[in-house]
Amino acid sequence: MIGSGVPSARAPNTHRHREGGIREPVRARERAGCLRDSLLFSWLHMENRGTCAGTAAGSGADGADADERAAFLAALRKIEAAYLNFDTSRPVVIGGKTVTAKRVQPVSGRIGWALAGEDSGLDLPLLISVDGGLTWHDAITADVRAAIEAEKERRRLGEEEAALYADPRKVMKPGPGLVLLPNVTNPGDVILVRSGEPGEVEWQGKTYALKPCKAGYFTYLPIPRSTKPGDYTIGDAQLAVLEKKFDTQHLTVSEEMESMRRNTERIAADQKKIDEARSHSAETFLFDSAFLKPIGGRLSTPYGYTRYINGKFASTHNAIDLAAPEGTPIAAANDGVVALADELYLTGLTIYIDHGMGLFSQYAHLSELRVSTGDTVKKGDVIGLVGSTGFSTGPHLHFTFCAHNTPVNPDLFFGTTPFRW
């Protein structure tokens, strides 16, 4: 922590005896002692957050784990230094009077302390500021205590957030600036945006609100497959979209199956149901660990293929198909809430799981549903079985993600989290 030393508050010893021999400074000393103890508790508590962070990074371990913990704590110190916002050059004014300060010490964020000189005439020489040195206090008022508690909470959340990143120093920056994870991407992918302040992000004619989580504010930005390669400006950040070519797939199906795709009324009714389910998403991340692949089947269709059916253009396959025997258990890719579990016309028995912040995973063509709409699921829970329901040529799992209702490449998620893109 910046400036962990806290001086001992001492009442002036120049007071005369009052009549009857009772000393005036007794009450001042008591007040000074109470303030000192309160400040010590508050500051030492914030200092001890480093110990908590060490625990989060693997406390009690040796070797490589100890080195990792040390690196994590070093990163936290640099992050907190960036968040320090305290002007020690300002005059110390208390009760309308400017006093000489023997020392002014920033502590954390906008909190700091000052030790007034002996000529200040103050009964209580130890002062505190919670607004970057603009105003000073000689007592722990309700507002001061609230500011200290708010700063401790910010640091706690900051430590939790820092543990999410491979290098938190590159991501956790104060202020309204944007950090893009990653800042180099491909058509059909998705990025995560982080800011130190609330706000909005404009992207391809749409506005995305930055939602609070931990110590930052976030949103996903889908990169539609139609996005042209080039450099894009997003707020004060730069995004490079690379060129990517997608292969073509040709399928031959029966006339009966092909006719299913012409039933636009049923397809539209299902799409309305899907849109409604995906219109409500938790306003925080519902997961805190890496995503897993729902089954270990063979990849039969990669993401992004241009699909032709019976020689005619059909669609872009914005998912992956994993072939597996019918009845193979399907695991939830990560923690979330089941937004929809229903039988749909083209995708058969289908599940959508909300992972928060507008991100949903989709599981289609199941032979059996093991969850219902509204259920809370944990990563790895069996949610259904592989099947071939709906428009399907054989047992497989059709799997993808949608970010803000735009399909995005599921391969980005497996074995990692968006915080480490």
Is 13 a member of any domain?
no
105 and 205 fall within a common domain: no
pLDDT at residue 5 greater than cutoff 60: no
pLDDT band of residue 267 (cuts 50, 70, 90) is: confident
pLDDT at residue 327 greater than cutoff 60: yes
What range does the domain containing 114 cover? Answer: 25-170
Q: Which secondary structure element, helix H or strand E, spans residue 223, and what is its range?
A: none
231 and 330 fall within a common domain: no
- What is the length of the chain? 421
Q: Would you state the pLDDT for residue 54?
A: 39
Dist. CA 335–CA 286, nearest whole Å: 6
Is 406 a member of any domain?
yes
CA-nearest of 296, 277, 389 to 336 is: 277
- The arithmetic mean of pLDDT across residues 348-368, rounded, is 98
pLDDT band of residue 69 (cuts 50, 70, 90) is: confident
37 and 112 fall within a common domain: yes
* Selected residue with higher pLDDT from 139 and 251: 139
- The arithmetic mean of pLDDT across residues 235-254, rounded, is 84
Choice among 64-78, 290-304, 325-339 with the minimum mean pLDDT: 64-78
- The arithmetic mean of pLDDT across residues 44-65, rounded, is 49
User: Which residue, 121, 146, 170, sits at the end of a domain?
Assistant: 170
Is 42 a member of any domain?
yes
Q: Would you state the pLDDT for residue 42?
A: 54
260 and 392 fall within a common domain: yes
Q: Would you state the pLDDT for residue 123?
A: 81
The alpha carbon of 108 is separated from its chain's Cα centroid by a whole number of angstroms, namely 22
The Cβ-side half-sphere exposure at 207, using a 13 Å CA radius, reads: 3
29 and 145 fall within a common domain: yes
Secondary structure (3-state) at 198: coil
Residue 260 maps to which CATH number? Answer: 2.70.70.10
Percentage of the chain lying above the pLDDT 90 cut: 67
Dist. CA 346–CA 278, nearest whole Å: 18
Is 158 a member of any domain?
yes
Choice among 26-35, 126-135, 311-320, 346-355 with the minimum mean pLDDT: 26-35
Is 20 a member of any domain?
no
Percentage of the chain lying above the pLDDT 70 cut: 80
Return the top range by mean pLDDT from 4-8, 29-33, 124-128.
124-128
- The arithmetic mean of pLDDT across residues 132-148, rounded, is 93
Is 5 a member of any domain?
no
Structure tokens at 50: 């480093």
pLDDT at residue 224 greater than cutoff 90: yes
User: Which residue, 226, 241, 256, sits at the end of a domain?
Assistant: 241
CA separation (Å) from 236 to 193, 194, 282, 331?
12, 12, 27, 39
User: Which residue, 188, 220, 241, sits at the end of a domain?
Assistant: 241
- The arithmetic mean of pLDDT across residues 251-267, rounded, is 69
pLDDT band of residue 41 (cuts 50, 70, 90) is: very low
Choice among 18-22, 66-70, 323-327 with the minimum mean pLDDT: 18-22
Dist. CA 52–CA 214, nearest whole Å: 16
Interval 294-312: pLDDT, tens: 999 899 989 987 766 666 6
Interval 395-420: pLDDT, tens: 999 999 999 999 999 999 999 999 99
CA torsion through residues 34, 38, 39, 40, sign: positive
Is 313 a member of any domain?
yes
Is 18 a member of any domain?
no
Return the top range by mean pLDDT from 99-103, 191-195, 297-301.
191-195
Q: Would you state the pLDDT for residue 178?
A: 98
- The arithmetic mean of pLDDT across residues 81-94, rounded, is 93
pLDDT band of residue 265 (cuts 50, 70, 90) is: confident
41 and 93 fall within a common domain: yes
220 and 293 fall within a common domain: no
191 and 315 fall within a common domain: no
- The arithmetic mean of pLDDT across residues 13-24, rounded, is 40
Residue 239 backbone phi and psi in degrees, to 5: -120, 130
pLDDT at residue 329 greater than cutoff 60: yes
pLDDT at residue 11 greater than cutoff 50: no
pLDDT band of residue 259 (cuts 50, 70, 90) is: low
Q: Would you state the pLDDT for residue 246?
A: 80
Dist. CA 116–CA 104, nearest whole Å: 9
> Would you say the pTM of this structure is higher than 0.85?
no
65 and 157 fall within a common domain: yes
Secondary structure (3-state) at 294: coil
283 and 331 fall within a common domain: yes
Interval 287-298: pLDDT, tens: 999 999 999 989
253 and 374 fall within a common domain: yes
pLDDT at residue 162 greater than cutoff 50: yes
68 and 213 fall within a common domain: no
pLDDT at residue 15 greater than cutoff 60: no
- The number of distinct structural domains making up the chain is 3
